[in-house]
Amino acid sequence: MGGGEAKKSGGNPGKSGRGGKKKEVKKETGLGLTNKKDENFGEWYSEVVVNGEMIEYYDISGCYILRPWAMTIWEIMQKFFDAEIKKMKIKNCYFPLFVSPTVLQKEKDHIEGFAPEVAWVTKSGESDLEVPIAIRPTSETVMYPYYSKWIRGHRDLPLKLNQWCNVVRWEFSHPTPFIRSREFLWQEGHTAFATKEEADTEVLEILELYRRIYEEFLAIPVIKGKKSELEKFAGGYYTTSVEAFIPNTGRGIQGATSHCLGQNFAKMFEINFENEKGEKAMVWQNSWAYSSRTIGVMIMVHGDDKGLVLPPRVASVQVIVVPVPYKDADMQGIFDACNATVDTLCAAGIRAEADLRDNYSPGWKYSHWEMKGVPLRIEIGPKDFANNQVRAVRRDNVAKTDIPRAELVEKVNQILEDIQQSLFDAAKKKRDDCMHIARTWEEFVEALGQKKMILAPWCDEEEVEKDVKARTKGEMGAAKTLCSPFEQPELPEGTKCFASGKPATKWSYWGRSY
Amino acid sequence: MGGGEAKKSGGNPGKSGRGGKKKEVKKETGLGLTNKKDENFGEWYSEVVVNGEMIEYYDISGCYILRPWAMTIWEIMQKFFDAEIKKMKIKNCYFPLFVSPTVLQKEKDHIEGFAPEVAWVTKSGESDLEVPIAIRPTSETVMYPYYSKWIRGHRDLPLKLNQWCNVVRWEFSHPTPFIRSREFLWQEGHTAFATKEEADTEVLEILELYRRIYEEFLAIPVIKGKKSELEKFAGGYYTTSVEAFIPNTGRGIQGATSHCLGQNFAKMFEINFENEKGEKAMVWQNSWAYSSRTIGVMIMVHGDDKGLVLPPRVASVQVIVVPVPYKDADMQGIFDACNATVDTLCAAGIRAEADLRDNYSPGWKYSHWEMKGVPLRIEIGPKDFANNQVRAVRRDNVAKTDIPRAELVEKVNQILEDIQQSLFDAAKKKRDDCMHIARTWEEFVEALGQKKMILAPWCDEEEVEKDVKARTKGEMGAAKTLCSPFEQPELPEGTKCFASGKPATKWSYWGRSY
């Protein structure tokens, strides 16, 4: 058994608290969750993040404890992304958590976007600070005064920095673990270039890495596109994003963003350089980030009524090996086979553990590891042992395979790859089933009522988007643009905007969102 | 040239600012620093951290920007330590930055130790918070309410968690980059065990990792020992530490600490469990941490009047390759040789870069990379090129070696290992020269005046330590205990305490400290 984490759930696979009747019922039925994903999605989510041991609720609202089961996923993504940006010659740094108010307020649009959510430190010990100090909601204003200092000539460019850190946004809307929290972990990249072309290119290179995190690691299909003027980053030039969709709530969710800041911040922070001709010029800047929100999207998309479903590439335990004791069986032989199986898998780079605890039944263990979303379970009972084979059971579709011990690594690798692909395919099918093309206001409203993600021809006018928001305002929240996809369907001349009737200039995704 | 970082220093190797006369003088003399380590240590340090591009000063006092040159060192240590604790089955997690006041104040001694330095958030946006919220100065009180929740039975133990994060201590004493800053990066491990024995064992296992970070990575000799009651962690049971020494200031510096918390926090936070006999018992806890202070100690110990001196194991660039052009030389051939050299070294796992910039002279580049502390410089001029060799110049002692291209990897590895060892040996010799044994108060005072680290027989009474502090108070700061070393010299019966004349019970290191 590979560590103390599993043990922490103690006597009950489905519940972090103990005692009470609910526990007994759940134990008897073998069910770990009291809520069903399709019936009470919100409650299901709150329950599965806790029972899957990803999150513990914290005594300050909107703050959550990331337990090792979640942290490992974060670390796996971080390892990938960090290596990729290092290949791009982006370097890591660390800027302070605190910002002075004068600097924070330097870029007007930017601060207007963030001001209501900024947390302020006003005291240390018993003393009031002379000037209140802000906690970074993002680090543009923290960093750029120093970019101005460091960048003088064209040889100082490009300047490409990234940091892995925590940020704080004291939001008052409904907090949700991973998805909307007052403190979260992220990486933020901040780059400066001599030319717009270089900046444009990097925006898309980074966006592609974000797509890969979602599609290749988290097995979640995303749409790459450009945000509307209303939805772009406060103070930026344009914003690109990868957009995911949660079918159960019919809401889009911004997965990660790669912004071109243009020269707006450069102007405010005087980030100038002497170009090759000896002329004074202003830099072009980007900033880009993905956060621990990624993990929440993964849980929402793949989880089911038995608990988490982790894609193999990000699962800290990819294979859990469980001995199945029978009366009169050679238990030592079975235990040894379990350990040997783990050793063989680990030696091949597969993250495997055995659950050899003697105070839980195999059935309990199955439920426990299903709740935690381990992609593949290997059972070894007397018959398997006698036949020199193991039984593999997939978490995603319960498919069972008997694997001869000699083919263990090859077959397990195959199955894990297949699970990764199946999860993506299933998520994509579900997402695609929720997509709807609307050409008129009536079609739009009907599709919105059906919780669709709507692709509609649009005139790209800010007033029209505001108008759509106002007209769809209701209990469920208003519809807004999610993005204008880079992959545009054909837009025949004469196509009208679904909302304004004016000539449409692009296709855009619309929907409710997180 | 392997990245943009080097370019950021722009036209001047010795100064992050530009222009002015100082620049001209420094360029002519080839000197990069205006202060000398042995003459104005404090000013030298402030200058070298900036000119070596480790730190940029920030507009909030006590906060510093960690530039990539410093961040890489942090990451190299982190990679080592993180892998080691994972072998010990310690798992990473992330707890919130914020603590509510009731929880923070639960352990009385603990909060007394930290209260004056706690930063408080009292506002978000324009609104006052209902209750002020503290920023973690350390996370015992953040975490332990949840340890109480997670730990029920002996099977939930040990619980071993670690987090990499930032903490804030709003100190008002003289802030110093890396050494004493209001926000810093660290790891903090928090573990709970069923027995004192397990806790005791882990305290020392972790301390050994801290020793390895200092001695094997940073090439700094440290002394392992136990802190006095007065100097131990607030609220803990006992504290062990690795203690380094800065000869130039004659000050000891606590390098990292591994605390046994005993059952003090367990009592306050009710961290109980049912043991194997079915009885209720209290856990034994440890906490341990090292911080970005490590980097400051490294700079203080190894740096010289030409700038930083980085030990090879932590240097982000271990070898810098510089072409040396001459009139009529085959410059393309030399450039190709430089690139080939870098490729060969990198392929062998050596971190090498070439500085092929055409707007700087070789002399300028030498000064620049010396300032940044790169352990080994490789020069390739026409003669080297013709002889199919390179010239290697050590940063630490300027020793020069001509290396045939065929032996490149072998020789460079050898030299780097030798530099690593030489730095440690030199630092150890300097440190040892500052050690002094004092058996009487007179000897003690004299040695303190000579900025020594003093090993003295002590009665181990708190009142006596307080008395020593009071009697040595002065401009330079009072002397206190650094640690009682685990390696104790013989203490013949009848040996008296240097300060009180009472029977001595142990040897202890004393001195001024950071």
Nearest CA of chain B to the CA of A171: how many Å? Answer: 9
Which of A60, A64, A93 is closest, CB to CB, to B100? A60
Residue in B91, B125, B161 nearest the CB of A115: B125
Contact (CB, 8 A) for B350 and B320 = no
The pLDDT, as a whole number, for residue A327 is 85
Of A152, A146, A135, which Cα lies nearest the Cα of A93?
A146
Q: What is the pLDDT of residues A27-50, one digit of tens each?
A: 444 458 999 999 999 999 999 999
Burial class (CB in 10 A: 0-12, 13-18, 19+), B146: buried
Taking the C-alpha atoms of residue B123 and residue B127, their distance in angstroms, rounded to an integer, is: 6
Residue A194 has pLDDT above 60, yes or no: yes
Render B324-356 in DSSP notation, one character per residue. Answer: ---TT--HHHHHHHHHHHHHHHHHTT--EEE--
Helices (H), A165-247: 196-212
Give the per-residue pLDDT at A287.
98
Q: What average pLDDT does this structure show over B253-259?
A: 98
ipTM: 0.93
Of the ranges A104-118, A420-434, B274-288, which one carries the lowest mean pLDDT score?
A: A104-118
Q: Look at B155 and A359 and tell me if their CB atoms are within 8 Å.
A: yes
Confidence (pLDDT) at A110: 83
Q: What is the pLDDT of residues B329-339, one digit of tens each?
A: 889 999 999 99
Average pLDDT over residues B290-296: 98
Confidence (pLDDT) at A185: 98
User: Do A56 and B149 make contact, defined as CB atoms within 8 angstroms?
Assistant: yes
Mean pLDDT (chain A) is 93
User: How confident is the model at residue B445, as a pLDDT?
Assistant: 96
Give residue A82's pLDDT band: very low, low, confident or very high (50, 70, 90): very high
Chain B residues close to A353, C-beta within 8 Å: none
Q: Which residues of B touch A58 (CB under 8 A)?
A: 95-96
pLDDT at position A173 is 80
pLDDT of residue A16: 38
Q: How confident is the model at residue A201 (pLDDT cuts 50, 70, 90)?
A: very high
Q: What is the mean pLDDT of residues B28-42?
A: 82
Q: Are B105 and B132 in contact (CB under 8 A)?
A: no
Q: What is the mean pLDDT of residues A350-364?
A: 95
Q: What is the pLDDT of residues B309-363, one digit of tens each?
A: 999 999 999 999 999 998 888 899 999 999 999 999 999 999 999 999 999 999 9
Which residue on chain A is closest to B79 by alpha carbon? A79
pLDDT surpasses 50 at A9: no
pLDDT for the residue numbered B29: 41
Q: How far is B216 from chain A (nearest CA, A)?
A: 24
Provide the shortest C-alpha distance from residue A92 to chain B (in Å). 5
Is the model's pLDDT at B30 over the cut of 50?
A: no
pLDDT given at position A29: 41
Average pLDDT score, chain B = 93
Please compute the mean of the pLDDT values over residues A284-304 and round it to a whole number.
98
Cβ A4–B157 below 8 Å, yes or no? yes
Res B110: pLDDT: 83
Q: How far apart are CA A128 and CA A125, in angstroms?
A: 8
* The pLDDT value given to residue A17: 37
Residue B295 φ then ψ, to 5°: -65, -40
Q: What is the pLDDT of residue B32?
A: 84
Percent of chain A with pLDDT over 90: 88
What are the pLDDT digits (tens) for B82-126? 999 999 999 999 999 999 999 998 888 888 888 999 999 999 999
CB contact under 8 A, B59 and A166: no
Q: Where are the beta strands (DSSP E) in A381-486?
A: 389-394, 400-404, 435-437, 453-458, 480-485
Residue A503 CA to its chain's centroid (Å): 36
Chain A closest-CA separation from residue B192 CA (Å)? 11
The answer to which of A474-478, A480-484, A503-507 has the lowest mean pLDDT is: A474-478
Q: What is the pLDDT of residue A8?
A: 34
- At B108 the pLDDT is 83
* pLDDT tens sequence across B410-468: 999 999 999 999 999 999 999 999 999 999 999 999 999 999 999 999 999 999 999 99
Select the more confidently predicted residue: B29 or B490: B490
Instruction: Give the mean pLDDT of A406-416.
Output: 98
pLDDT of residue B11: 38
